[in-house]
A and B are shown apart, each in its own frame.
Chain A
Amino acid sequence: MERQFVCIECPRGCALTVTTDGKTVNVTGNFCPRGKKYAEAEVSCPRRVVTSSVRGMSAMIPVKTRGEVKKENIFAVMKRIRALRINRDVALGEVLDPDIDGEGTPLIATAQYHREQTDGQ
C-alpha cells in the first residue's frame, strides 16, 4: 500500500511517500532521517506533541507534552489539561502532570509563572 504525507518535523515540509507490503516499510521523499522516522510512525502509530495552556490563579500558563502522545489520545489529553488548576509558582520546564496521557507522558510548563502574576499585557 502506498500513502502520502507531508513531514511536520521542520518548515521544509517534505512530501513523503510510504510503501508498505505488510512486512517492510519503505519511505521516499525525505530530506533527512527525521522524515523517515516520522513517516514510519504515521503508518503504524501517529503521534503528536500537544501544546496548550493551563489555568493559573490569575493568568494562563503555556504547557506542552514532553514527548509525543498518540494522535488518538489528543482530545483525552486536552480534557485533562483543561481540568488542571495551578495555584503555585512554576518554573519553565516544571512537570505539572507526570502522566497526562495515561501512558507516562509528562505535561510541562513552557514558561515560568508566578502565582500573583496577571495576564496584563
Chain B
Amino acid sequence: MKKQLVIIGGGPAGLAAAVAAYDAGVRDMVVIEREEKAGGILKQCIHNGFGLTRFKESMTGPEYAQRFLDEVQKRGIEVRTNTFVTALSPEKQVTCRSEEGIFTYEADAVILAMGCRERSKGALNIAGTRPAGLYSAGTAQKYVNIFGHLPGKKVVILGSGDIGLIMARRMTLEGAKVECVCEIMEHSSGLKRNIAQCLDDFGIPLYLEHTIVEIKGDERVEGVVIAKVDKEKKPVPGTEREIACDTVLFSVGLIPENELTKGAALPLDPRTKGCLVDGSRETDIPGIFACGNVLHVHDLVDFVSEEAEIAGRAAAEYILCGEREKQLVLTSAGENVAYVLPQRVEKGRDVKLYFRVRSAFRGAVIRVEAGSVQKAYKRIAVAPGEMDNVTLKAADLTDADNIRVSVLREG
C-alpha cells in the first residue's frame, strides 16, 4: 500500500505532527496507534499542569490530548488504532499488524513518534527476592487511573522523577500510605512544584542520597531496606534502615522506544538514546523524521507538541517539494551540558537549540559559540530536570563550523 506519510505513534507527538503536516498540504497520511484509543500516555496522566506554555491554561492530560484529537478529527486524518508496527525498513516500508492481518505501507516519508518507556527495576541490581508488589510508577498509574485498582496500601517509591512524585500524591489520595520517596542523587529530577504539591502537601518525606538496598518478602513485598549513599553512590554501611511496605514503585528514568529505529539501521545518540537529527528533525535517512519522547525525553508535553510540529512541517516539505540539499553544522555539548538537540543545524535557517545541564545551580550563563558569533544568556537557575532552549538566527550561523553550548556559573 502506498502512503505519502506514515506517522508511527498516536500520542501527543504523533497527533501534533499529523496536524502540522496536514496544514502544510499533505492529505495522504495515516497515524498508526497500537492502543484502542489515540492520546498516548496523556490518557493516564489525569493530573493538571499541562498546557501552561502552549495554551496558557492548566489542563489535565486527557484534556490536552483531546485538543489535538479534535484537530485531527476536524481534518479527517486517518488514525489506525489497535495496530502495531512490527518493522520499519531503511526504504521506508512500514509493516503493521492488526486484526485485519499483516500489511505494509510504502511511505514517501515516515515520522517516528513512538514515545518512551520506563526504565525497569531489572536495570537497578537490587538484592532480594521477586515478590508481588513491585511496579514501575507508570504501570501503577495505569492501574489506578485507567483500571481503577489500587496496587497497594503501604508504599515506598524509589526515584523522584515526576511520575514518582505524581504517583506519591495519587496513591495518598486513594487511601494508601506513602512512607517515603528515596532519591539516589543530591537533588530530585522532578519539577520543584511537584515536590511541593505532591510530597510536602501530604507530609511525605523525600530522602535525598538514599537508595533501596534490599527488598524483603517472598509472595508479597513485606518491606525494603534503605540506606544512605556516598559520593560514589555506594550504600554507606551502618546507615541501613528497614521500612515495612507492601508495594514499591520505581520511578527511575525513561528511555526512548527505539526498537523500530534500530531495525531501520538508524544510528542513535548515546546521550539522548534517540536518533541524530537536524533542525527539521530529519534523521540520517532522508524522509524519516523523529519527534517527541522517542527523540529525547521531554519534561513538558508543550515542547513535545512544538517539536512534533517542526517534524510534521518538514515531512510535508519533503513530500511536496522533494529532498533538499542541506549544508549542516554540528552542535556540541560544552561545559556542564549533557546534550544539545538537534545534533546538527542547517545553515540558512533559524534554529532553536534545546539542551540539558549536568548539574543544578543558581546564577547561570548560557554561552553559545558559533564561529565568530558568541552569545550569552542569563538564567536565575538551571537544573538537569528542566530542559532549556535558546534560539539562533540564520545570520548567526554564516561562518560557523560548529555550534557549542556551555553553561557556566555567573561571575
Q: A52-B173, A64-B60, A111-B63 are in contact. Are A10 and B52 (CB under 8 A)?
A: yes
Contact of B46 among A62, A74, A92 (CB under 8 A): A62
Between A49, A74, A121, the greatest number of chain B beta carbons within 10 A of the residue's beta carbon is seen for: A121
Between B61, B145, B148, B174, the greatest number of chain A beta carbons within 10 A of the residue's beta carbon is seen for: B148
Interface pairs A-B: 9 shortest CB-CB: A13-B192, A111-B62, A62-B46, A6-B196, A8-B193, A110-B60, A13-B193, A8-B197, A60-B148
Q: Which chain A residue has the least Cβ–Cβ distance from B173?
A: A78
A3 located at the interface, meaning its Cβ lies under 8 Å from any Cβ of chain B in the complex? no
Contact A55 B192 (CB under 8 A): no
Q: A92-B63, A111-B63 are in contact. Are A64 and B173 (CB under 8 A)?
A: no
Total interface residues on A, CB under 8 Å, equals 34
**Residues of chain B contacted by A11 (CB below 8 angstroms):** 49, 52-53, 191, 193, 299-300, 386
Contact B193 A92 (CB under 8 A): no
Q: A51-B47, A92-B63 are in contact. Are A13 and B174 (CB under 8 A)?
A: no
Contact B201 A48 (CB under 8 A): yes
Total interface residues on B, CB under 8 Å, equals 36
Query: Could you show 10 A-B contacts with beta carbons less than 8 Å apart?
Result: A11-B53, A11-B191, A49-B58, A51-B48, A53-B145, A60-B148, A63-B46, A75-B173, A119-B147, A121-B142
Return A26 CB to nearest CB of chain B, in Å: 20
Q: Which chain B residue has the least Cβ–Cβ distance from A120?
A: B36
Return A37 CB to nearest CB of chain B, in Å: 14
Return B74 CB to nearest CB of chain A, in Å: 15
Contact A55 B148 (CB under 8 A): yes
Contact B36 A5 (CB under 8 A): no
A50 located at the interface, meaning its Cβ lies under 8 Å from any Cβ of chain B in the complex? yes
Q: Which chain B residue has the least Cβ–Cβ distance from A79?
A: B175
CA distance A121 to B191 in the complex (A): 28
Q: Secondary structure at chain B's binding surface: helix, strand, loop or mixed?
A: helix
**Residues of chain A contacted by B60 (CB below 8 angstroms):** 51, 62, 64, 110
B402 located at the interface, meaning its Cβ lies under 8 Å from any Cβ of chain A in the complex? no
Contact B46 A52 (CB under 8 A): yes
Contact B47 A7 (CB under 8 A): no
Contact B201 A13 (CB under 8 A): no
Contact of B173 among A13, A49, A74, A92 (CB under 8 A): A74
CA distance A48 to B193 in the complex (A): 13
A71 located at the interface, meaning its Cβ lies under 8 Å from any Cβ of chain B in the complex? yes
Return B177 CB to nearest CB of chain A, in Å: 13
CA distance A92 to B53 in the complex (A): 22
CA distance A52 to B46 in the complex (A): 7
Other contacts beyond A110-B62, A111-B66, A119-B148: 19, CB < 8 A? A6-B195, A6-B196, A8-B196, A13-B196, A53-B148, A55-B148, A62-B62, A62-B145, A64-B46, A71-B201, A78-B173, A82-B174, A92-B62, A110-B60, A111-B43, A111-B62, A112-B66, A120-B36, A121-B146
Q: Which chain A residue has the least Cβ–Cβ distance from B191?
A: A11
Contact B148 A49 (CB under 8 A): no
Return B24 CB to nearest CB of chain A, in Å: 28
**Residues of chain A contacted by B196 (CB below 8 angstroms):** 5-8, 13
Return A8 CB to nearest CB of chain B, in Å: 4
Chain A, 5-30, contact with B by CB distance < 8 Å: what is the 0/1 string?
11111110101000000000000000
Q: Which chain B residue has the least Cβ–Cβ distance from A75?
A: B173
**Residues of chain A contacted by B193 (CB below 8 angstroms):** 6-11, 13
User: Which of B364-378 touch A at CB < 8 Å?
Assistant: none
Chain A, 82-116, contact with B by CB distance < 8 Å: what is the 0/1 string?
10000000001000000000000000001110000
**Residues of chain A contacted by B201 (CB below 8 angstroms):** 48, 71
Chain B, 305-347, contact with A by CB distance < 8 Å: what is the 0/1 string?
0000000000000000000000000000000000000000000
Contact B63 A110 (CB under 8 A): yes
Q: A11-B193, A110-B62 are in contact. Are A64 and B174 (CB under 8 A)?
A: no
CA distance A75 to B146 in the complex (A): 21
Chain B, 158-182, contact with A by CB distance < 8 Å: what is the 0/1 string?
0000000000000001110000000
Q: Which chain B residue has the least Cβ–Cβ distance from A63?
A: B46
Return A84 CB to nearest CB of chain B, in Å: 12
Q: Which chain A residue has the least Cβ–Cβ distance from B66?
A: A92
